[in-house]
Amino acid sequence: MIRAPAFWFQKNSWLGAALSPLSAIGAAITARRVAQPGWRAPVPVICCGNVTVGGAGKTTLVLDLARRLQKRGCSVHILLRGYKGASRGVHRVQPDDTAALVGDEALLLAAIAPTWTGADRAASAAAAVAAGASVLLMDDGLQNPSLSKDLSFLVIDGATGFGNNRVLPAGPLREPVATGAARCQAAVLIGPDATGIAVPLPILRADLVQGPEIAALRGQRVLAFAGIARPEKFFQPLEAAGAVVVERVPFPDHHFYTRRELDGLMDRAAALNALPVTTPKDAVRLPLDIRAKVRVVGVGLAWSDEAALDVLLDGAIK
């Protein structure tokens, strides 16, 4: 994904207003599509989706929920499209799969639970159920009607919210907030609310927290690079945790690094006497020799009210 245009986050942009007629057409098409009935799986289906393009934190939420459901004794299988992967049709992610085949997010998810890629979520769901799934967990798919959901979370990035509240191409929304929220049971707001979020849903709040590996980087000089939707979500917490970030190098979301780019990053880190540091999502896109030279710092979620989350999960899987 290319970087979002600035006017998507400007409330009174003339360009956003000028593109609004196209937005109305896109919203109408989406509304007709999502109104179609989906296949009802014989096991609970939980969806982590959003109404904006880009990274709201869905995969981080799916990782968190998968672990919680596994602790409840559930056989969790994860479904996603496999964005940027070359695989077509229903595919169960294998240990030797690459990001080029299934996408980077699929590799992260497959490390903790059986994971299936494919645009037809109903077909992926049927295959997962046949393979023993007792709960299906969707990474994205709120706008995909092929599979009926039992519990849907509307995931929101606290820093950017809904941008200018306009639908593509006038803004970052896939559909109007109200229509997406109507198909959800709760919102998950990740990070401090910088835009004044208002949705007709219970809001569960969570903050991104660095993984324990950050402790080894306190006081260390690092060159941080990231190809995620908002690289600042990686850079800023590194500094807050005590790493000395001497250079930040952002790349587009899901970026596949060239050898020249990687060699340049390693040379630059050496010149700065700094450790190269990146995200787990970036690490799975790196060749093994480069991955061995790079420190990887993951993130998790710290919830303000875990009890409220537990109530929703328990209600979905009862």
pLDDT digits (tens, 9 = 90+) for 277-296: 999 999 999 999 999 999 99
Calpha distance 174→127 (Å, rounded): 28
Q: Are 222 and 278 in contact (CB under 8 A)?
A: no
6 Cβ contact partners less than 8 Å away, ≥ 6 residues apart? none
Q: Over the range 43-62, which residues count as b (16 or more CB within 10 Å of their CB) and which as e?
A: bbbbbbbbbbbbbbbbbbbb
Q: Where are the domains of the chain?
A: 16-207+303-317, 212-297
Homologous superfamily, domain 16-207+303-317: P-loop containing nucleotide triphosphate hydrolases (3.40.50.300)
Closest alpha carbon to 278 in 174, 266, 270, 171: 266
Percentage above 70 pLDDT, the chain: 99
For residue 121, the one-letter residue type is R
pLDDT at 210: 87
pLDDT at 12: 87
Question: What parts of the chain have a pLDDT lower than 70?
Answer: 1-2
DSSP 200-261: SS-EEEEEEEE-GGGGGGTT-EEEEEE-SS-THHHHHHHHHTT-EEEEEEE--TT----HHH
